[in-house]
């Protein structure tokens, strides 16, 4: 079972808050419990300009990253849409 978080900045083309993504990611990384690094498949990263994405192996790692991302968004006044997902990865070779 894997857990994902995906966040998108609200009205980023108008408010230019996408420029704060580096600060959000740095805040999460700085405050993250390093013991959970083994529970992270993909660290929170910036994708598509104004999107943040991460994949985790445990619900605990997901929730901690989610909470830190929300805290960072409040600190830096970045309005976010945040979604989480739960599922399986199908790794097949052709």
pLDDT at 74 over 70: yes
Residue at 38 is within a domain: yes
Task: Give the Cα separation of 94 and 31 in Å (integer).
Answer: 40
45 is a domain residue:
yes
Q: Using CB atoms within 10 Å of the CB of residue 90, give its burial: 0 to 12 exposed, 13 to 18 middle, 19+ buried.
A: exposed
Cβ within 8 Å of residue 26, ≥6 positions away:
none
Can you give the pLDDT at residue 94? 62
Is the distance from CB of 17 to CB of 79 less than 8 angstroms? yes
pLDDT of 63: 93
- pLDDT, residue 69, reads 95
CATH value at residue 7: 3.30.70.1230
Alpha carbon distance 78, 94 (integer Å) = 42
Asked whether residue 35 carries a pLDDT value surpassing 80, the answer given is no
Read off the pTM: 0.84
Residue 92 inside a domain? The answer is: no
Q: 20: pLDDT confidence band, cut at 50, 70 and 90?
A: confident
Query: How many folded domains does the chain comprise?
Result: 1
């Amino acid at each position: 079972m894997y857990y994902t978080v995906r966040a998108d900045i609200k009205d980023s083309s108008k408010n230019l808050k996408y420029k704060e993504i580096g600060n959000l990611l740095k805040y999460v990384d700085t405050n993250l419990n390093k013991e959970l690094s083994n529970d992270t498949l993909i660290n929170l990263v910036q994708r598509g300009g104004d999107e943040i994405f991460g994949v985790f192996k445990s619900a605990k790692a997901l929730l901690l990253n989610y909470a830190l991302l929300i805290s960072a968004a409040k600190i830096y006044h970045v309005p976010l849409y945040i979604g989480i997902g739960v599922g399986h990865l199908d790794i097949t070779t052709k």
